[in-house]
Amino acid sequence: MTFFPRVFLNSKEEKEINQGFPWVFDNEISHIKTKKVSGQNEQWINVSLKEADIAPGTPVEIFTKAGGFLGTGILNKNSKITIRIISNEHGDEVYKDIESFWSKRVSDAYNIRQIHYKNQDSYRLIFAEADLIPGFICERYCDENENVYLVVQFLSMSCEIFRKEILDALEKCCRPYGIFERSDADVRTKEGLELKAGWIGAKREEEIVIIENGIRIKVDLANGQKTGYFLDQKDNRAVAAQFCHGKSVLDTFTHTGAFGLNAFKAGAKSVISVDISEEAVETVNKNIQLNNASKVMTAVCADVFDLLKQYEAEERKFDVIILDPPAFTKSAKMVQKAYGGYKEINLRAMRLLNKGGILVTCSCSHFFDSNTFYDMLMHAAMDSHRVVQILEKRGAGPDHPVLLGYPKSEYLKCAITRVF
């Protein structure tokens, strides 16, 4: 039988784990029971986390203060997230065939998505903890020639040590034409891991064209934000487009122009797509040309806050406005400040809409939860002296499952509203 150090939690810390939370923080650990070897002799000893001589990436079993078994995880003393739980089974069960264990996790994620997606679709194949593979992200892109590309991120020690098993399982499931690694996020340094980026195996074209809802989108696998493209809004873009036929549309924080292009495809009368990044606007212009949309669609490089003020001063009006900003807060401490930013852009957008106009408004910060988001909308409506009707509350698509007990997995809010 393989030996696994036993991590005991402080009193009552097991509640969140029993509810599905997949992490153990350093300050939640009471002590660790491990083996001390002296010559031929072994003995169990209790040590603190600080005293424990346990290498990063070591599998451990997790117990309540009273000794109840909770699960098996990967310990990394370099990280505040000291343990990421990989299974609610004992370590021996997990490690008796580790290749099959990870192959099943990958195939489970792949198979459930076959219900919603076809081979020509691009979607998130693995969503880290929400797909029970902590710290690992995989996007599946299919280009217009039906070549399958995977973009992968190993963001934690808990998946880094199983790199070979996970990649082998992906090869088996997807038979990809190319795999590009984007493990270049700063979070890896918090795990004690070096940043990595580049092709795994054969080198392919870094810029590809995918088809989304009938439009062509250029995706830069190597240099695009995060994993190349924001697939989580794909379904929301299609729904928003239903309101755009014959309408004037303002598409803000546009990034690649995808919301605006979906509006164009639906028959919008005019589309203005705005982003503060010159590089993003350059990409939008390429996508406009790619879709022969230049007679309808214009890309503008501007600060959205300033442009909304300017349009209000000019008494401009629109039929549809889309707000898809980046996360205004990445910590709980900054939620109140973010509230002010979200409220300002929503209030100004409401004032710019014709009566009965459509506001599609989003937040991708998990710290800015759903209750806070809709409270902000209510106060923006009050201060703009407009009446707002919520037509639909939406989130990310089915390729972004939500793990109960892990609020971070339910991060995206998208409200389709009508403003009177």
Model confidence over 17-40: pLDDT tens digits?
A: 999 999 999 999 999 999 877 767
139 contact partners, CB below 8 Å, separation of at least 6: 122, 123, 124, 125, 150, 151, 152, 227, 228, 229, 231
pLDDT in tens, 260-295: 999 999 999 999 999 999 999 999 999 999 999 999
- Confidence (pLDDT) at 42: 80
pLDDT in tens, 160-180: 999 999 999 999 999 999 999
pLDDT in tens, 346-401: 999 999 999 999 999 999 999 999 999 999 999 999 999 999 999 999 999 999 99
Question: Which of the four pLDDT bands, split at 50, 70 and 90, describes residue 3?
Answer: confident
pLDDT in tens, 93-142: 999 999 999 999 999 999 999 999 999 999 999 999 999 999 999 999 99
Q: Tokens standing for 251?
A: 């598409």
For 290, the 3-state DSSP assignment is: helix
Q: Tokens standing for 387?
A: 């009446």
Domains in the chain with CATH codes: 6-95 (2.30.130.10), 98-208 (3.30.750.80), 230-419 (3.40.50.150)
Average pLDDT over residues 305-334: 95
- Confidence (pLDDT) at 114: 97
Q: In angstroms, rounded to a whole number, what is the distance separating the alpha carbons of residues 307 and 304?
A: 5
- Provide the terminal-to-terminal Cα distance of the chain, rounded to the nearest Å: 68
Cβ–Cβ under 8 Å, residues 263 and 271: yes
Block residue for tokens 């022969």? 292
- Confidence (pLDDT) at 227: 86
Average pLDDT over residues 289-302: 98
Secondary structure of the chain: what % helix, strand, coil (to 5)?
30, 30, 35
Question: Which of the four pLDDT bands, split at 50, 70 and 90, describes residue 1?
Answer: low
Q: In angstroms, rounded to a whole number, what is the distance separating the alpha carbons of residues 117 and 141?
A: 12
Cβ–Cβ under 8 Å, residues 58 and 74: yes
pLDDT in tens, 192-215: 999 999 999 999 999 999 999 999
Average pLDDT over residues 74-80: 96
pLDDT above 90: residue 224: no
Quick one: what percent of the chain has pLDDT higher than 70? Answer: 99
For 95, the 3-state DSSP assignment is: helix
Q: Which long-range contacts (CB under 8 A, 24 or more apart) does 66-72 make?
A: 67/8, 68/14, 70/9, 70/14, 70/17, 70/18, 71/17, 72/4
Cβ–Cβ under 8 Å, residues 122 and 231: yes
Average pLDDT over residues 234-252: 98
Q: Taking Cα atoms as reference points, which of 16, 5, 97, 93 lies closest to residue 45?
A: 5
Q: In angstroms, rounded to a whole number, what is the distance separating the alpha carbons of residues 371 and 393?
A: 12
pLDDT in tens, 41-71: 788 899 999 999 999 999 999 999 999 999 9
For 118, the 3-state DSSP assignment is: coil
Range 220-243 burial, b when 16+ CB lie within 10 A, else e: ebbebeebbbbbbbbbbbbbbbeb
Residues tagged active-site: 364
